[in-house]
């Protein structure tokens, strides 16, 4: 659901998500409901293929998974690492 919200919020067309090396084993985590009165912030970014354009999205959810607030930003940046750092910075500013 968060991926669909992120895709619709950024809506920049032909973007690709950074690829994880095939040798890395990924674990699947299940969402665990938060305690009442707690909030969760998710942030992510995508890089437009063959470009330095990125889109960043930050979503704030409550313990019922309801979106409370959020933001998106498009910009040009030199690396995916800097894009992820920008996503984290915006998440901290939203908090």
Which residues make beta-bridge pairs with 58? 43, 71
Cα–Cα distance for residue pair 31/92, rounded to 1 Å: 21
Report the pLDDT value the prediction gives residue 3, as an integer from 0 to 100. 62
pLDDT in tens, 24-33: 565 666 767 7
Tokens 């973007």 belong to which residue?
15
**49 CB neighbour count, 10 Å cutoff:** 10
- DSSP, collapsed to helix, strand or coil, labels residue 69 as strand
**33 CB neighbour count, 10 Å cutoff:** 10
Ranges of each domain in the chain: 1-12+40-95
pLDDT in tens, 76-87: 988 889 999 999
Cα–Cα distance for residue pair 75/67, rounded to 1 Å: 24
pTM for the whole thing? 0.63
């Amino acid at each position: 659901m968060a991926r669909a919200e992120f895709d619709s919020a950024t809506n920049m067309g032909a973007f690709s998500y950074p690829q994880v090396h095939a040798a890395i084993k990924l674990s699947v985590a299940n969402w665990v409901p938060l305690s009442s009165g707690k909030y969760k912030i998710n942030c992510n970014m995508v890089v437009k293929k063959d470009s330095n354009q990125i889109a960043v999205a930050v979503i704030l959810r409550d313990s019922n998974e309801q979106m409370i607030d959020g933001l998106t930003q498009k910009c040009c940046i030199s690396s995916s690492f800097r894009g992820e750092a920008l996503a984290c910075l915006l998440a901290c500013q939203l908090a």
